[in-house]
Amino acid sequence: MKRKWLKYERETRLTGFLLVMILSVVNLASILMFNHSVRQYRRQMEGHLAASARLAAENYRENTGLPADSIEAKWSALASISGISAIGLADSNGRWVAASNRYLLEAYLFPAVTDTEQAASWGKLTPGRMAYDPSQDYGFVNYSLREGLAGNVLVLLAPAGSLPSLESGARMQNIWSAVIFLAVLIGLFLYLRLIFNPFRSMARLARDNSGGEIPCGSDVELVMDSYQSMITELRQKGRDLNELYAKERVRADDLEQFSRQILDSVDKGIISIDTAGKVLACNPAARDIFGLAAIESCAEIFSREELEAVGRGARLMTKELENPSGRARTIQVEISDLKNSGGQRMGNNLVVSDITDIKRMEELEDISEKSALLENASRSLLARVKPGLQEIKQSLENFPGETVGLQLEKLERLIAEYGQYFSYRDQISDQPGSPDIVFASPAMQEVLNLAGKVAPADSTVLITGDSGTGKELIAREIHRLSPRAEKPFVTINCAALPENLLESELFGHVKGAFTGAGRDKPGLFRVAEGGSFFLDEIGELPLGLQAKILRAIQEKDITPVGGIKSLKIDIRLIAASNQNLEKMAAQGKFRQDLFYRLNVFPINLAPLSQRPEDIEPLVYHFMKKHSLKNKKKIESIEAGALAAMKKHCWPGNIRELENAIERATLVARSRKIKLEDLNIVLPADDEIEVSDGGGGLMAVSAKAAAKAEAELIEKILAQTGGNKSQAARRLQISYRVMLKKIKDYGLDKA
């Protein structure tokens, strides 16, 4: 071991010495190469200037008889070709004989000197050598020539180029090479000390502990002896740790046994799973609930959708299943995180409870409540019918004849009224909703269920559906059921205002923001503070405002028009559109980030044509509403008219239905709305009976007119080759009315 350590020391020192030598050779080679490059560059520049000077001198000697201007012009051309800034010729007294740029020559050769000093300065120019003045920031170099010029001096002034930088770089390289060499020497010295100091320190410490009994020349043996004693001590500690581990293992086994006994005694099922869905632990109660002898994975007891819900962080789940005896059971699963001692999530704990009996008790309680309601309704019906029956009996006794028919008709209306109560009012009587929301279809029931689920949260809601389906009513219902019900509900139609006015209405403005802004305006976002804000027809929102709306939703702050300070807002946003926003976003007509931010909780309202069950209750609702409004006593609608309304497609949805009922209440000539009172177009092949008595002349005329109209439109379309625009012009109706009639008569399916 000692020989190995000595060999390691020699190799380390030799390696350091070689590194120093290699670095020295590299530094010296780089210095020589760089300085050689600088000298080569200087010689090339001097050669270029010497050649240019000889050309200039030869030019002067050949044209001594020419005026100075001609010589200067030739020198200017020569300077332009050879890249020289100026060429000049001066006599022995320092006067210029000729110069291509006298100002530049004097400025760089004799800066800030008098004429006398200038004459004396000519003697400082070394013929045939290049020089430059450091005071001129190495901008130019000069070159002088005297031979063959009759005592005159030829001076060339040229840009110094990279020469000053190269010479400065060479000097800096020499300095830095020396500095780096010294730094490497110091670093190597410190590195060797760092390597060998631990051995010396260990030996010194061992000597101090031994009281000086160990000789000074045995550092290696001393270190090795210390190392061996340390290994022996570590082995002893390892044996002690093994004994301690064995005791703790027995204790952990006891705790595990106690935990298993506790889990086995619990009547609720407890399942622990990891993040991959593998079962880590499961008590007997869970196996009994699911009817399995062993549960290895969650996939055995939960569907894919339920597992995805657990992965998304669901905390409560209800599931229907059948136990081994075949009886349907309902279980409830409470989900919590399974964490290790460090607080990191390792999976989930599932607590499974059998709530079949609780569910059955709730259903029985609900049935009992509905039975009581039905009993009260029946009693109320009988109480209302009995006076009518008594009146009929008296009429039969005292006023025979036509009076009997009138009383029978009254009884019919009375029974129809309360029959209608049982036909649809019982379906909505348990809905604590707005009185304007009238329905009987499962589709609308699902919409209200969704509204009830999202109302307690502050999530953004996007309501979609055709115009007239009641999107604003659903928005108001969400607000009514939310914790913000006592706060304002503010609505605005994005299609009703131009962009500049819409921005001011939404965000408000400060005084002087634009012409006419004579005072500060808070804006509707701030008016709705603490409440709900309904953006109707958000698909019509200009792109310029969409980014600001997105910021208002995400950051909960707005900046008024013309203002510089943002204001915090607390609102719940509900948006609605009759357009396909997803398609508009794909086409670039609507911001995708705003669409995804709005589409947190989508609710879609089906058109009235897809939920005909709602037509009858809506008819009676609007009939009662507009009867009171117009002070007319309309009590019923004939069966033929109601059947016609159920067959109509209602492109305008509930809004169109309400308008039709309002018109019918105004034009009705009796207490019953008839088919001729409705301004709707029946299909050409309609088989509806217009009334219980076989119909009247007006009803027959309406059917004949509809049939003739359909035949005429079909004929014109055939003549125009299916061109709807041309057919509309020939029939003198608008294109929109043309499309509606084609759809109503079913001509688009022909």
Last residue of a domain, one of 354, 374, 404: 354
Q: Are 466 and 578 in contact (CB under 8 A)?
A: yes
- In this structure, the answer to whether residues 348 and 364 fall within a common structural domain is no
Distance (Å, whole) CA 352 – CA 706: 64
Per the prediction, the chain carries an average pLDDT of 77
**pLDDT reading at 563 higher than 70:** yes
The stretch 265-293 carries a mean pLDDT of 81
Tally the domains of the chain.
Answer: 5
Task: Note the pLDDT of residue 735.
Answer: 74
Q: Are 411 and 444 in contact (CB under 8 A)?
A: no
| More reliable by pLDDT, 119 or 390 | 390
Candidate from 333-347, 439-453, 683-697, 725-739 with smallest mean pLDDT: 683-697
Give the pLDDT band (50/70/90) at residue 4. Answer: low
With a pLDDT cut of 90, the percent of the chain lying above it is 12
Cα 37 to the center of its chain, rounded Å: 59
Residue 197 predicted with pLDDT over 50: yes
Q: Of 404, 428, 452, at which residue does a domain stop?
A: 428
Please report, as a single letter, which amino acid is at residue 496.
A
Could you tell me if 448 and 596 lie in one domain? yes
Q: Around Cβ 402, how many Cβ atoms within 10 Å?
A: 8
132 pLDDT higher than 80: no
User: Could you tell me if 49 and 139 lie in one domain?
Assistant: yes
Report whether 462 contacts 598 (CB < 8 A): yes
pLDDT at 375: 57
Query: Are residues 350 and 450 located together in one domain of the fold?
Result: no
The strand pairing partners of 318, in sequence order, are 332
Instruction: Kindly calculate the radius of gyration of the chain based on its CA atoms and give it in whole angstroms.
Output: 51
Question: For residue 461, is pLDDT > 90?
Answer: yes
Report if residue 209 sits inside a domain: no
- Which position has the token pair 């915090």? 568
Query: Same domain, yes or no, for 422 and 526?
Result: no
Q: Cβ-count burial of 254 within 10 angstroms (0-12 exposed, 13-18 middle, 19+ buried)?
A: exposed
The pLDDT tens digits of the residues spanning 365-388 come to 566 555 556 655 666 666 666 676
The predicted pLDDT at position 116 comes to 55
Highest mean pLDDT: which range of 38-47, 193-202, 303-312, 556-565: 556-565
E strands, 196-306, in order: 269-274, 279-282
Residue 184 lies in a domain: no
**Same domain, yes or no: 559 and 496:** yes
The CATH number for 93's domain is: 3.30.450
Residue 114 clears pLDDT 80, i.e. is over it: no
Q: Is the same domain home to 27 and 133?
A: yes
Indicate the helix (H) or strand (E) that contains 372: helix 356-398
pLDDT value, residue 135:
52
Report residue 744 CA to chain centroid gap. Answer: 43
- What does the alpha-carbon distance between residue 457 and residue 479 come to, in Å, rounded to a whole number? 11
Q: What is the CATH number of the domain that holds 308?
A: 3.30.450.20
Domain around 7: 2-168
Mapped onto helix, strand or coil, the DSSP state of residue 671 is coil
